[in-house]
Amino acid sequence: MAVHILGIRHHGPGSARNVKAFLETVKPDIVLVEGPPEADAMLQWVSNKGLKPPVALLCYQPDDPQRSVFYPFADFSPEWQAILYARRQNIHVRFMDLPAGNQMLVEKEHRVVKQQEEPDTGHINNEGQSLEQLYKSPISYLSDAAGFADDEKWWEHTFEYRNNNDEVFDAVAEAMQALRESLPQKDKKLELMREAYMRRTIRQAEKEMFHTIAVICGAWHAPALQSKSSQKDDNELLKGLPKVKTECTWIPWTFNRLSFYSGYGAGINSPGWYNHIWHHPNDDGTLWMANVAQLFRKQQMDTSVAHIIEAVRLAGALASLRGLPKVGLEELNEATLSVLCNGESILLKLVQDELIVGHQIGEVPVEIPKPPLQLDIEKQQKKLRLPATADYKDYTLDLRKDTDLDRSIFLHRLQLLGINWGRQQYTTGKGTFKEQWRLQWDPGYSVEIIERGNLGNTVVEAATASVLNQSKEAKELKAIGDLLEKTIPAELPGAIEALINELNNLAAASADVIELMEVVPGLITVARYGNVRKTDAELVLTIINSIITRVCISLPNACIAIDEDASQKLLELFFKLNDGINLLQDGEITDIWQQTLIIIAANKSTSPVVGGYSTRLLHDARQLEGDQLMQYFSFAMSSATAPVIAAAWLEGFLKGSGTLLLLDQDLWQVIDNWVAGLADDIFMQVLPLLRRTFANFTNPERRKLGEKARWGGGSGHQHTNIGANFDPERAKQSLPVIMQLLGLTINTTETNGN
Amino acid sequence: MSQILRQHAEQLFAHELEELKKQDGDKRPANWVLSPQSVVTYLVGGKLKNGFEVSPKYIGNRRLMEIAVATLTTDRALLLYGLPGTAKSWVSEHLAAAVSGDSTMIIQGTAGTSEESVRYGWNYARLIAQGPSPDALVETPVMRGMKDGKIVRLEELTRIGADVQDTLITILSEKTLPVPELNIEVQAVKGFNIIATANNRDKGVNELSSALKRRFNTVILPLPDSVDEEIDIVRRRVESFEKVMELPAEPPALQEIRRIVTIFRELRAGVTLDGKTKIKVPSGTLSTAEAISVVNSGLSMAAYFGDGQLKAADLAAGIIGSVIKDPVQDKLVWQEYLETVVKPRTDWADIYRACRDL
């Protein structure tokens, strides 16, 4: 019976190669790998063709999915290679670390304890800091001794890049043993428990009469697993380990994510480079530089073969200058910088993103048991041909097409779920049928998907539930309105109905007419766009109807006794509301609205600006014309009215356009008389108001008004032309042509006869 | 002390080179005085096996020097690129001294540098008297460097006209210099290479042709990363200046150097060191080299006109001289800086007064 402990570095390509070679020579009958034992059942998938690294094991607590740990694996991860070997040889393979659930629990306790300890800092803090520095990286002591500036580099050159691997695991174990002995032990409880658990798993395997046991663990743990710690101590340490329910699944991972901190401790900086040396262990830099050149050429940068040759040579020279047996990434980068980029480091950023990190994303077979929501999302992604990619991709959706509409609905639903895979971008061009999206998948969404899983098993269900939850929390009419605006494009009938009910209830309870008015324009937009999206606009129309009715009832009172700022705000809302109502073209609503306007305009105590504007709106709608309009107008401008109020009324009436004044001679006359009748000091008083009114008109309008004023307000020369030199006989001759142009036939003889 | 105003690097640091040579255990490329490893040690400083301390010549990123030395071991030439005053020529001189033991083979690039001064010229008296013969040939540093297998330095490569620049292509790629008049050629001996320097500010004046660019490995020398690094550079260089000039003045207090470096860095970056106040940037480059010369001239002032101690007043003239390159624009920039940044700093009162009085 023999136990082989293989100390490795997580995601080290050299370690992976060594592990593979070692297992092939030793031929163990069981392989134990550092990892969460809950996930043992997931190991069978490793040999499945559909599971393509980079992937990660996700362990989460079903009742609190945010509590989760990832264990990422790439092709070049030693753990992955070990599991793969075991699966292919059909021998046992198990995870042996402390269960992920327990780890999460211990860490939580640790955090609580830390927080409690927080208050009594003081001089202890100083000491703690220096100790923390000591613990920073044990390997750095070895690298310092070897004269390397960076411990990662030292490890890479000592263990990862080498091709000759005899007794490398013994060397690693010995080095770590020396470190553990000479460094102050950080007796972190979690560390000790983990190692005890690993030893226990090894003992268990021994008990089961396996002959050759291969153990793959992080280098740091190797000596602890070799030491013959007593079984009793270990049991003592692990006593009363609570059972924590966790669930595990495989999720696709990205190279980009491999470079982050994850369940296996610190991530790696250069997954793309590691992938390269895993697949091409004997590359002297030529292949790498060729890839770099390819990349540069794709970006329209001239890169010749001679460049590659020179770069490889320089990298070799640098390596030998530094006494390194093999060219490393630093040498290659420096050579790229010096030879290919002319010293400018901007281009190197491209190499960093595309090659050193890379955009690879893993794949997970469909058959793997997954949370139902995840399954549904994947199904939709496939159906709608929206693959999850590590790099971003832009889509322009034409909502008139069925597929694009479905895509848009899907993306909107995900957004409601808080999964921001797609971000909507600004679209160029007109039309409400176009949407621009940018999609970039982040493996972290897996956690969110699991978390949202408690809302429902399909995207529709979960999104509906999510909207309902949000609507319960929202207490303001506007918030519900916004939510409704977001929900309509996601086509969730259940949620929409509930939102509308909620809106109705809130609207009924709301005493604030301004708040009600703010919601309406948004709703009208929804009702309008509903047509493109084939949503049922009826629902929205009902609610618009009821809200407008409410607005109309309380609006006249809201226009009384308000100051100027409030009036201006009200004016804006009037404008938007009127615009919306015009768009709707619903006879009933228009009627109610116009009735209200008449009440407001006729009320003498209405704020003058609002009163003026209401009159104007009525005129625009042809509800107030001729003498009736004159009556309103003269009344407002009569000399008994304080000039300031009259000016404000005029401002409201002329808001936006002065064409009315140009065309209507009577109105002009009234204003003319009014202005002429003002005393000098009062004129000075109202001048700023009038200036403000006229300043908003368009240039040609103002010019024409000016011209008209210069002509003394006379009826204008347009009128004088009429009747001058008019020859009815000649005019009659043109009639047949005009009739023909209009598509009408007339009896010419009859015309002649008449 | 010798009568020479400024000694070459290989003379000034002869003992260091000698010691490095003795201790050198690594493989030496053909015709190199030192092994590449020792060249790097000579440049960035360090302790030898026998405890001998090598002073650092270049203070900054060691990796840049490694790239430079590694380039010289390949058959590509080296182009040092950077702002004025970032120690390009300094590095090139020391590289040549350490690699070939000779930093004197130098061609200064100017707008008027002709092909004759790059390849070869003729002694016309001889040419007329004897006709074309090897005796009538005037060798340039390039030709001598090729014959002897030594490093040749080309200063300000981008100031040289494009047509003359391109005569280097054959020399760098074929490593040969044909003399068609005599029907001979000079083939470069191992160890020959070229170190060129070029200036960021001259970018676009005589842009290198892409054929020539391809023959060079480029190393960009940056401005110092931190204040402390820059102060270190200035202090070391000023101390060596004192030694050479035999100045009676007392060595400058670190405090004074720190202030000058601070002023230069702030004006260069356009923001105060604490990152709070924005400053206008003057037209000059305000490199470390200029900071060094300000302290040096301040030392001379103190030694000959003052009481031997470096004071703010001794430095003021130097600072103003290097900041104000454009009499109209820069003057405003400087006054604004003086009033808004220098004045409020209470412990800078002396320097404020000294600068304002000038």
* CA–CA distance, A201 with A214 (Å, rounded to integer): 12
Taking the CB of residue B138, how many other CB atoms lie within 10 A of it?
Answer: 14
Q: What is the mean pLDDT of residues A193-213?
A: 86
User: Burial, A378: exposed, middle or buried (Cβ in 10 Å; 0-12, 13-18, 19+)?
Assistant: middle
Q: Which residues from A are below 8 Å from B220, CB to CB?
A: 343-344
Of A313, A334, A342, the CB nearest to B63: A334
Distance from CA of A6 to the nearest CA of B (A): 35
What's the token pair of residue A683?
């004129």
Q: Which of A321, A334, A341, A347 to mutate to test the interface with B (most CBs of B within 10 A)?
A: A321
What's the token pair of residue A233?
């101590």
Distance from CA of A321 to the nearest CA of B (A): 6
Q: Best-predicted range by mean pLDDT among A668-677, A712-721, B151-160?
A: B151-160
Contact across the interface for B74 and A313, Cβ inside 8 Å: yes
Q: List pLDDT tens digits, range A415-452.
A: 888 888 888 877 766 566 788 888 888 877 877 787 77
Contact across the interface for B63 and A321, Cβ inside 8 Å: no
pLDDT exceeds cutoff 60 at A128: no
**B40 vs A: CB within 8 A:** yes
CB A45 within 8 A of CB A365: yes
pLDDT exceeds cutoff 90 at B154: yes
pLDDT exceeds cutoff 80 at A674: no
Q: Tell me what pLDDT residue B247 has.
A: 66
Homologous superfamily of the B68-221 domain (CATH) = P-loop containing nucleotide triphosphate hydrolases (3.40.50.300)
Q: Best-predicted range by mean pLDDT among A259-263, A332-336, A339-343?
A: A332-336
pLDDT exceeds cutoff 80 at A526: no
Distance from CA of A339 to the nearest CA of B (A): 5
Give the confidence band of B245 by pLDDT, cuts at 50, 70, 90.
low
User: 3-state class of A474 per DSSP?
Assistant: coil
Higher pLDDT, B11 or B275: B11
Q: Tell me what pLDDT residue A265 has.
A: 52
Give the confidence band of B244 by pLDDT, cuts at 50, 70, 90.
low
Contact across the interface for A306 and B214, Cβ inside 8 Å: yes
Q: Which residues from B are below 8 Å from A337, CB to CB?
A: 67
**B198 vs A: CB within 8 A:** no
Distance from CA of B38 to the nearest CA of A (A): 10
Q: What is the mean pLDDT of residues A410-414?
A: 87
Residue A226 shares a structural domain with residue A100? yes
> Among the three residues A393, A425, A459, which one is the final residue of a domain in this structure?
A459
Angle at A364 between CA A36 and CA A371, to 5 degrees: 70
Contact across the interface for B36 and A321, Cβ inside 8 Å: yes
What's the token pair of residue A156?
């890479």
pLDDT exceeds cutoff 50 at A117: no
Residue A302 shares a structural domain with residue A416? no
Give the residue on A whose Cα is nearest the Cα of B219. A343
Cis check: omega of the bond before B180, within 30 degrees of 0: no
Q: What is the mean pLDDT of residues A224-249?
A: 78
Contact across the interface for B73 and A321, Cβ inside 8 Å: yes
**A304 vs B: CB within 8 A:** yes
Q: List pLDDT tens digits, range A43-94.
A: 888 888 888 888 888 888 777 766 777 888 888 888 899 998 988 888 888 8
pLDDT exceeds cutoff 50 at B318: yes
**CA neighbours closer than 13 Å in the CB half-sphere of residue A680:** 0
Q: List pLDDT tens digits, range A537-553.
A: 676 777 788 788 888 88
- Does A386 map to a domain? yes
- Does A186 map to a domain? yes
Higher pLDDT, B130 or A722: B130
pLDDT exceeds cutoff 90 at B138: yes
Contact across the interface for B217 and A339, Cβ inside 8 Å: yes
Give the residue on B whose Cα is nearest the Cα of A315. B70
* CA–CA distance, B288 with B286 (Å, rounded to integer): 7
Q: Tell me what pLDDT residue A135 has.
A: 45
Cis check: omega of the bond before A54, within 30 degrees of 0: yes
Residue A393 structural domain:
372-459
Question: Which residue, B160, B161, B143, is CA-closest to B152?
Answer: B143
Residue A433 shares a structural domain with residue A312? no
Q: Tell me what pLDDT residue B193 has.
A: 94
- Does A648 map to a domain? no
Q: Which of A148, A318, A320, A330 to mutate to test the interface with B (most CBs of B within 10 A)?
A: A318
* CA–CA distance, A699 with A5 (Å, rounded to integer): 87
For β-strands B120-122 and B137-139, DSSP reports them as antiparallel
What's the token pair of residue B234?
């200035």
Give the DSSP letter of residue B140.
P
pLDDT exceeds cutoff 50 at A720: no
Output the average pLDDT for chain B.
86
Of B210, B217, B220, the CB nearest to A314: B217
Tell me chain A's radius of gyration from C-alpha atoms.
39
Give the confidence band of A750 by pLDDT, cuts at 50, 70, 90.
very low
Contact across the interface for B71 and A338, Cβ inside 8 Å: yes
Give the confidence band of A412 by pLDDT, cuts at 50, 70, 90.
confident
- Does A430 map to a domain? yes
Give the residue on A whose Cα is nearest the Cα of B40. A321
Q: Tell me what pLDDT residue A121 has.
A: 35
Q: Which residues from A are below 8 Å from B69, CB to CB?
A: 321
Contact across the interface for A321 and B81, Cβ inside 8 Å: no
**B219 vs A: CB within 8 A:** yes
Give the residue on B whose Cα is nearest the Cα of A339. B217
Contact across the interface for A317 and B210, Cβ inside 8 Å: no
> Among the three residues A315, A330, A357, which one is the final residue of a domain in this structure?
A357
**Lowest-pLDDT range of A637-641, A660-664, B24-28:** A637-641
Contact across the interface for A338 and B63, Cβ inside 8 Å: no
User: 3-state class of A239 per DSSP?
Assistant: coil
Largest CA distance in chain B: 76
Give the residue on A whose Cα is nearest the Cα of B37. A321
Residue A324 shares a structural domain with residue A192? no
**Lowest-pLDDT range of A499-508, B93-102, B152-161:** A499-508
Contact across the interface for A338 and B210, Cβ inside 8 Å: no
Q: List pLDDT tens digits, range A339-357.
A: 888 888 888 888 888 888 8
- Does A562 map to a domain? no
pLDDT exceeds cutoff 60 at A752: no
Tell me chain B's radius of gyration from C-alpha atoms.
23
**Lowest-pLDDT range of A121-125, A179-183, A310-314, A392-396:** A121-125
Q: Which residues from A are below 8 Å from B210, CB to CB?
A: 302
Contact across the interface for A321 and B70, Cβ inside 8 Å: yes
Residue A443 shares a structural domain with residue A381? yes
For β-strands B151-155 and B193-199, DSSP reports them as parallel
Tally of domains within chain A: 3
> Among the three residues A302, A324, A357, which one is the final residue of a domain in this structure?
A357
Contact across the interface for A342 and B76, Cβ inside 8 Å: no
Residue A209 shares a structural domain with residue A280? no
Q: Which of B158, B217, B221 to mutate to test the interface with A (most CBs of A within 10 A)?
A: B217
pLDDT exceeds cutoff 60 at A714: no
Residue A222 shares a structural domain with residue A73? yes
pLDDT exceeds cutoff 80 at A726: no
* CA–CA distance, B281 with B268 (Å, rounded to integer): 6
Q: What is the mean pLDDT of residues B205-222?
A: 86
**What percentage of chain A exceeds 90 in pLDDT?**
3
Contact across the interface for B213 and A330, Cβ inside 8 Å: no
Residue A219 shares a structural domain with residue A96? yes
- Does A547 map to a domain? no
Residue A38 shares a structural domain with residue A72? yes
**B214 vs A: CB within 8 A:** yes
Distance from CA of B157 to the nearest CA of A (A): 15
Distance from CA of A327 to the nearest CA of B (A): 13
pLDDT exceeds cutoff 50 at A118: no
Q: List pLDDT tens digits, range A605-629.
A: 788 888 888 888 888 887 777 777 7
CB A386 within 8 A of CB A436: no
Question: Which residue, A148, A16, A26, is CA-closest to A84?
Answer: A16
pLDDT exceeds cutoff 60 at B227: yes
Give the residue on B whose Cα is nearest the Cα of A316. B70
Q: List pLDDT tens digits, range B68-124.
A: 999 998 888 999 988 888 888 999 999 999 999 999 999 999 888 999 999 999 999
Q: Name the A residues in 318-347 with CB < 8 Å from any B CB.
A: 318, 320-323, 330, 334, 337-339, 341-344
What's the token pair of residue A568?
């201006």
Question: Which residue, B272, B320, B270, B269, is CA-closest to B294?
Answer: B320
pLDDT exceeds cutoff 90 at B271: no
pLDDT exceeds cutoff 50 at A205: yes
Contact across the interface for A343 and B220, Cβ inside 8 Å: yes
Q: Which residues from B are below 8 Å from A153, CB to CB?
A: none
Residue A242 shares a structural domain with residue A332? no
Distance from CA of B295 to the nearest CA of A (A): 32
Q: What is the mean pLDDT of residues A353-380?
A: 81
Give the confidence band of A122 by pLDDT, cuts at 50, 70, 90.
very low
**Lowest-pLDDT range of A32-36, A461-465, A680-684:** A680-684
Q: Which of B42, B49, B62, B67 to mutate to test the interface with A (most CBs of A within 10 A)?
A: B67
**What percentage of chain B exceeds 90 in pLDDT?**
33
Q: Tell me what pLDDT residue B194 has.
A: 95
Of A306, A321, A337, the CB nearest to B37: A321
Higher pLDDT, A496 or A132: A496
Instruction: Taking the CA atoms of B62, B67, B69 and B73 in sequence, report the sign of the dihedral they define.
Output: positive
Residue A414 shares a structural domain with residue A333? no
pLDDT exceeds cutoff 50 at B352: yes
Higher pLDDT, B238 or A81: A81
Q: Tell me what pLDDT residue A536 has.
A: 61
Residue B289 identity (one-letter amino acid): A
Q: Point out which residues pair with A73 in neighbouring strands.
A: A55
Q: What is the mean pLDDT of residues B282-305?
A: 83
